[in-house]
Amino acid sequence: MPHPRTPPSADAAFAAALARSPRGPDRDGVFALWLVVRAALGAAVLAPARQAERLKALQHRLKSLNPPAPLRRSLAAALADLAPARAVPPAIVLSHLVAPAADTLGRPVADIVAAAARAVRGAATPPRAA
């Protein structure tokens, strides 16, 4: 089931990338990245207490995965940035994940994250007056 704020194309692209990934750190990395992207996209609509609970559950889930080390560090930083105490905008958090995703999982996966960051930025920006 797609996340209400995740563009359907992002969910489909992550599912396809997950299917193409070989077992091991690459597949775990794609899955972990997908979970964090979904959490970032939902950050703006949740109450701070609910967001804190969700991030705690996500941290617990990520401990069982084995993504490549550079991506693991970036995901931990992203979760810290999404915490209600820091409240970094989701578009910035996602844009910080693009380079580590490209380095560890390849450009196609990084493009999915970049598209999600653009979608969040576009949704958060009010239309300009002409």
First and final CA of the chain: distance in angstroms? 38
The pTM score is 0.82
What digits encode the pLDDT tens for the residues 85-128? 887 888 999 999 999 999 999 999 999 999 999 988 876 555 44
- Given a contact cutoff of 8 angstroms between Cβ atoms, the answer to whether 53 and 11 are in contact is no
Please check the confidence at residue 80 and state whether its pLDDT lies above 80. yes
Residues 6+ apart with CB under 8 A from 59: 79
Amino acid at 46: L
Amino acid at 19: A
Rounded distance between C-alpha atoms, residue 55 and residue 62, angstroms: 10
DSSP secondary structure letters along 85-124? TT---HHHHHHHHHHHHHHHH-HHHHHHHHHHHHHHHHHH
| 3-7, 49-53, 72-76, 118-122 — most confident range | 72-76
Question: Who has greater pLDDT, 79 or 45?
Answer: 79
